[in-house]
Amino acid sequence: MVVELISVGTELLLGNIVNTNAAYLSEKCAQLGLSLYYQTVVGDNEERLAETLKTAVDRSDVVILSGGLGPTKDDLTKEVTAKVLGRELMEDAHSKERIQAFFKNSQFKVITENNWKQALVPKDAIVVDNANGTAPGIIIEEGEKAVILLPGPPNELIPMFEHDIFPYLRNRQPEVIYSQMVKICGMGESMVETKIVDLIDSQTNPTVAPYAKIGEVHLRVTAKGETEEEARKLTKPLVKELKSRFEDYIYTTDEQVTLEEAVIKLLKKNDLTLTTAESCTGGMLSARLVNVPGVSDVFKQGLVTYSNRAKKKLLDVKKSTLKDHGAVSEQCAKEMAKGGVLSTGSDVCVAITGIAGPDGGTEDKPVGLVYISCYMKDKVTVRKFQFKGNREKIREYSVVNSLVLLRDCILANYK
Amino acid sequence: MVVELISVGTELLLGNIVNTNAAYLSEKCAQLGLSLYYQTVVGDNEERLAETLKTAVDRSDVVILSGGLGPTKDDLTKEVTAKVLGRELMEDAHSKERIQAFFKNSQFKVITENNWKQALVPKDAIVVDNANGTAPGIIIEEGEKAVILLPGPPNELIPMFEHDIFPYLRNRQPEVIYSQMVKICGMGESMVETKIVDLIDSQTNPTVAPYAKIGEVHLRVTAKGETEEEARKLTKPLVKELKSRFEDYIYTTDEQVTLEEAVIKLLKKNDLTLTTAESCTGGMLSARLVNVPGVSDVFKQGLVTYSNRAKKKLLDVKKSTLKDHGAVSEQCAKEMAKGGVLSTGSDVCVAITGIAGPDGGTEDKPVGLVYISCYMKDKVTVRKFQFKGNREKIREYSVVNSLVLLRDCILANYK
């Protein structure tokens, strides 16, 4: 089955935003075993969108459009699609109610007239609820073909795709695909690839594909079969081989589990409470931990000690340490982690101090120098990193590596 | 002048990587005042690439292809382009020498035979040196049209574009474009649109386009002219009109300035230091503030008080408040902000407490209920919100609205 993506939005053509939706949808289509030959980006322009859609419907079985479902005049995707497919737009009572309820619960109490445009759907279309916004998703079936309309904001598109579109596409696909994720942390992308190059070279069914994420590598093992059971069985020997090659670098084989979730699960399992002490990351680590529902069992508080004064006051870092070694030093990182445990009474503290740039670097301590420490059971472990990239990248790598260090320390103590 | 982008690479169609090249090239084209109507991604497939290129050359003046210039058999972009345009491939002596020198200086001392493929260029093409890799860039002029081939890796593509392609395109472009950003916070997208619908309806040159961001709306005013001065002049009356319509809702007219930057600038201007006290956002607000280089002048520390115990201990929230009103209440939000100022000695504290879900909601206090408070000059202001969406979205809206509240409080006190 051949699928094609059309992303609609002038903001993509102007380069205001990066097309992460296309990457997300492409990965999901690969996971479903669908053949994807084209992604197109087109602006909020009636004629060009119509032209693009016609070409896509002509050459592909399923066309997924994203974006352009908003309430403004710029948003044309639904109107153009209805026209191209020769369908009337009709008000969907259910969607109208949902939009009404959405506004009732939001801070914007006034529903302006243009919002009702979002309750219009093409005749005989399947309406898909949007749990995180007003615009519904729409599926239009045309004989053997289907056109799917999704909202542009990723926080609306992704949950909708997971919940409704993924199962819908799986049902349309004659072959059954089973895929198994193997998530790796603490090892670089090229090292991971080197370790599996023989597997990739010789693969047919199942296959393994690496996806580089920030500080992680995800390996997706995919097999095709006549039944899910058959496909699942085919993946097993390859997953087993990966487990023996990567051992503890694998933090989960569950698609849904994030690194922070895996780490929190480890803390819970060993009945440990955690404090964070952050300087250059400014709360990014604690914010990432708090992504995980139910984190309150193990994470009680975090300290963002951006200034030296805060490091002294909240974490009891010695004045002499700051004077002799500076705030970005092994010594300071050690004292921060220890101070975090002592001042809060938690079992573990992870601390981060570094130079995220763009200013503040010196020859001795260049931008990207980061110390990450973990205090646990009266022992402190420190790792020194020299990250490359801009301020944001340096901070993101710092956060991932603090999770990796925390995980390593728990595994070393509680295995 | 109409330009079109074609990104070549199966790794994009599998979602292995995000198409950041397209965003980069699009932004540059917008900056050059070029009209970009289509971006296409196509795999390393001869037939489909040829088809895509033909369509693009037909409808656009300049086609920029990126990727597929490597030494392997998969890399087809140059071969397909030469075929489509009816040009012979010939060895370019200069490129051959450059490749030889490149290998001499690299860690790979052996030049495998397939690398010489990269020294082949279409007849009469302009060869552009690649400072960071072996594949040269190529410009093929066909009458009034041009086809430009760029290497795929961003660290080769970007420097080559900046150094050679940007000036080349500027010289081909007769018109100059100027665009001015107007960024709005504290007002919903459809309300903003309603307020400017008459301007959008009647626009020709300049134009105004709204971009919805989380909790913000950005309006881009764009004009074309014969000189930059002329284009700039054309935007002025429209920008002035927007300023009079949105007044204090506009936090900046500088493309580069973010909401957190604008707020930090306001704090600096009024010589105020800030503390954050976060519960459900878990450090997202402080992490966002720390995005801004030089934030340390005003932001010294942040407290993530996820548990009730931390709220009592670090922020001096009364036990009776937590017992009688709960942690998600106006009273608790007030005490958190006041406690943040008193415990740290800063001038201002912004506090956030709410239910981000998915669990923890009740009939009285549903998921999405968030109180945000700001303590300044012995006075505390609280706003109550009922956000819709998943855990992440509720937290993102909480952070934006805490910045908006902080901004409003400073403006009210220091205007």
| pLDDT value, residue B109 | 60
pLDDT of A44 > 70? The answer is: yes
From B213, B236, B252, give the residue that closes a domain: B252
Strand partners of residue B380? B375
Residues of chain A found within 8 Å of residue B275, distances taken between Cβ atoms: none
Q: Summarize pLDDT for A241-287 with one digit per residue, the tens.
A: 999 999 999 999 998 899 999 999 999 999 999 999 999 999 999 99
Nearest residue, CB atoms, B191 vs list A45, A108, A287 = A108
Sheet bearing A62-66, strands edge to edge: A126-128, A137-142, A145-150, A62-66, A2-8, A35-42, B35-42, B2-8, B62-66, B145-150, B137-142, B126-128
Chain A contact for B152, CB < 8 A?
no
pLDDT of B212 > 80? The answer is: no
What is the CA B373 to chain-centroid distance, rounded?
29
Q: For residue A75, what are the contacts with CB-CB under 8 A and spacing of at least 6?
A: A44, A68, A69, A117
Report the Cα–Cα distance between both ends of chain B, in Å, rounded: 46
Q: Summarize pLDDT for A93-103 with one digit per residue, the tens.
A: 999 999 888 88
Residues B149 and B203 in one domain: no
A303:B307 CB<8 A: no
Window 213-252 of A, Cβ < 8 Å to B: none
Residues A300 and A323 in one domain: yes
Which H/E stretch holds residue A198?
A: helix A189-201
B212:A70 CB<8 A: yes
Residues of chain B found within 8 Å of residue A74, distances taken between Cβ atoms: 209-210
The larger pLDDT score, comparing residue A110 to residue A222, is at A222
Residues of chain B found within 8 Å of residue A392, distances taken between Cβ atoms: 291
Residues A203 and A298 in one domain: no
Q: Summarize pLDDT for B337-381 with one digit per residue, the tens.
A: 999 999 999 999 999 999 998 888 999 999 999 999 999 999 999
Residues A227 and A310 in one domain: no
Averaged pLDDT score across all residues of chain A: 93
Residues of chain A found within 8 Å of residue B17, distances taken between Cβ atoms: 23, 212
Residues A220 and A81 in one domain: no
Residue of A26, A155, A342 for testing the chain B interface, max B β-carbons within 10 Å: A26
pLDDT of B233 > 90? The answer is: yes
**Percentage of the residues of chain B whose pLDDT score is greater than 90:** 73
Least Cα distance to B80 among B6, B157, B165 occurs for: B6
From A151, A172, A193, give the residue that closes a domain: A172
Report how far residue A397's alpha carbon sits from residue A255's, in angstroms, rounded to the nearest whole number: 21
Chain B contact for A308, CB < 8 A?
no
A48:B30 CB<8 A: no
Window 53-112 of A, Cβ < 8 Å to B: 70-74, 102, 105-108, 110, 112
Query: Where residue B210 falls among pLDDT bands split at 50, 70, 90?
Result: confident
Measured at the CA of B372, the angle between CA B368 and CA B378, to 5 degrees, comes to: 165
pLDDT of A110 > 90? The answer is: no
| pLDDT value, residue A108 | 64
Query: Where residue B294 falls among pLDDT bands split at 50, 70, 90?
Result: confident
Window 349-378 of A, Cβ < 8 Å to B: 357-359
Query: Where residue B238 falls among pLDDT bands split at 50, 70, 90?
Result: very high
Q: Summarize pLDDT for B104-159 with one digit per residue, the tens.
A: 776 566 677 778 889 999 999 999 999 888 899 999 999 999 999 999 988 899 99
The ipTM of this complex is: 0.78
A283:B287 CB<8 A: yes
pLDDT of A209 > 90? The answer is: no
Strand partners of residue B121? B90
- Tally A–B CB contacts below 8 A: 273
What is the mean pLDDT of the segment spanning A11-23? 89
Q: How many domains does chain B have?
A: 3
Question: What is the amino acid identity at position A365?
Answer: K
Residue of B286, B299, B398 for testing the chain A interface, max A β-carbons within 10 Å: B286
B304:A309 CB<8 A: no
B16:A307 CB<8 A: no
Residues A238 and A281 in one domain: no
Residues of chain B found within 8 Å of residue A131, distances taken between Cβ atoms: 389-390
Query: Where residue B203 falls among pLDDT bands split at 50, 70, 90?
Result: confident
A38:B48 CB<8 A: yes
B306:A283 CB<8 A: no
B238: domain CATH number is: 3.30.70.2860
Least Cα distance to A62 among A148, A157, A171, A168 occurs for: A148
Report how far apart, in Å, the C-alpha atoms of B71 and of each of B78, B82, B102 are.
Answer: 11, 16, 14
A132:B38 CB<8 A: no
Residues A248 and A316 in one domain: no
Residue of B nearest to A394 (CA): B291
B41:A45 CB<8 A: no
| pLDDT value, residue A109 | 64
- What's phi and psi for A30, nearest 5 deg? -60, -40
Residues B168 and B285 in one domain: no
Question: Do residues B364 and B289 make contact, with C-beta atoms less than 8 angstroms apart?
Answer: no
B160: domain CATH number is: 3.40.980.10
What is the mean pLDDT of the segment spanning B68-74? 83
What is the extent of the structural domain holding B199?
A: 176-252
Least Cα distance to A403 among A313, A309, A278, A254 occurs for: A278
Residues A341 and A403 in one domain: yes
A131:B389 CB<8 A: yes
Residues A39 and A133 in one domain: yes
Nearest residue, CB atoms, B26 vs list A15, A209, A306 = A15
What is the CA B45 to chain-centroid distance, rounded?
31
pLDDT of A123 > 70? The answer is: yes
Residues of chain B found within 8 Å of residue A212, distances taken between Cβ atoms: 16-17
From A130, A156, A172, give the residue that closes a domain: A172
User: 3-class DSSP state for residue B353?
Assistant: strand
| pLDDT value, residue B188 | 86
B41:A25 CB<8 A: no
Q: Summarize pLDDT for A297-329 with one digit per residue, the tens.
A: 999 899 999 999 999 999 999 999 999 999 999
Question: What is the amino acid identity at position A97?
Answer: E
Nearest residue, CB atoms, B283 vs list A102, A290, A305 = A290
| pLDDT value, residue B106 | 64
pLDDT of A45 > 90? The answer is: yes
Report how far residue B63's alpha carbon sits from residue B149's, in angstroms, rounded to the nearest whole number: 9
- pLDDT-wise least confident of A107-111, B138-142, B330-334: A107-111
Residues of chain A found within 8 Å of residue B307, distances taken between Cβ atoms: 296, 300-301
Q: Kindly state the tokens that stand for B129.
A: 């040196």
Residue of A nearest to B48 (CA): A37
Report how far apart, in Å, the C-alpha atoms of B383 and of each of B278, B305, B335, B386 are.
Answer: 15, 19, 14, 10
Q: For residue A323, what are the contacts with CB-CB under 8 A and spacing of at least 6?
A: none
Strand partners of residue B148? B64, B139
Residue of A nearest to B393 (CA): A155
Residues B34 and B62 in one domain: yes
Q: Which residue has the tokens 């009572």?
A: A93
B270: domain CATH number is: 3.90.950.20
Residues B244 and B357 in one domain: no
A15:B38 CB<8 A: no
Chain A contact for B286, CB < 8 A?
yes
What number of CA atoms fall less than 13 Å from residue B326's CA on the CB side? 13
